[in-house]
Amino acid sequence: MPLAARHSLSERELHEAVAEAESHDDQLTGVVGFFNRRVRDHVLRRIDAVNGLDLLEVGCGEGHMFAGTDIRPVQMDVSMIRLRRAASSSRWLVCADGYQLPFRSESFRMVLLAAVLEHTREPQRILAEARRVLEPGGRVVIVVPNDVTMSAGRLVLRKFPIRYPDHVTFTTPGRMRRWLADGFRIREAFHLPVRQLPFAVNLYHFVVAERA
């Protein structure tokens, strides 16, 4: 089915269709790779004190976030295609849905949601599950994109469709604050790659929030 017909697919089907059509390898090279490495650096600086099995990465994709490091978290994705590609660099892989995390409550010190919420139609449910599996005082690290600037960048790079094909929810700092108001305290919030510039001209919004 062409990706142009994505609105007729479930989220899981959409993720698998996109995974079949493209690899995440191009996220590591060129201009896109440069900005993604900036995000990765910020993520790694905030989890370097967390032991592997205390950390859950939801939506790990092909496992690039921790490739080349000694960190071996529990990594989860809804796409079996992505997980097969991640198998060479990851130790703990789970195929599951972020709406129903297959873990006990209060199982993790940290949950990572990097470029996840924009792929879901109900991001509040994902955050509620992240809160459930976090221990008291545990933290969630979230990265969400600015779809407008990213779409402009894809147009410049002649990548089509212009909007990422499996982005189904627009995310903004204001929406993030509302989504996190129920059960979290925001500890850090800033834009990337240039903190001093407004979100409207940046590519990402980065949040660290603590379970209330």
* Averaged pLDDT score across all residues of the chain: 86
pLDDT at 86: 87
Q: Which two tokens stand for residue 82?
A: 């992505």
Q: Is the model's pLDDT at 138 over the cut of 50?
A: yes
Domain locations in the chain as residue ranges: 3-211
Q: Is the model's pLDDT at 5 over the cut of 60?
A: no
Integer angstrom CA distances of residue 146 from 23, 56, 133, 197, 209: 21, 24, 27, 13, 19
Most trustworthy range by pLDDT among 15-29, 78-92, 129-143, 147-161: 129-143
Helices (H) and strands (E) in the chain, counts: 6, 7
- pLDDT tens track for 76-88: 999 999 898 887 7
The average pLDDT across 142-154 equals: 88
The average pLDDT across 180-195 equals: 96
Listed residue (49, 53, 51) closest to 76, CA to CA: 53
- pLDDT tens track for 12-71: 776 677 666 666 666 666 667 788 899 999 999 998 667 778 999 999 998 889 988 888
CATH number 3.40.50.150 given to 3-211? yes
% of residues, the chain, pLDDT over 90: 59
Residues 101, 58: contact at Cβ < 8 Å?
A: yes
Rounded to whole angstroms, the Cα distance separating 158 from 95 reads 32
Residues 142, 206: contact at Cβ < 8 Å?
A: yes
Integer angstrom CA distances of residue 69 from 26, 44, 76, 87, 184: 20, 9, 18, 15, 29
What predicted TM-score, i.e. pTM, was given to this entire model? 0.85
Rounded to whole angstroms, the Cα distance separating 10 from 119 reads 11
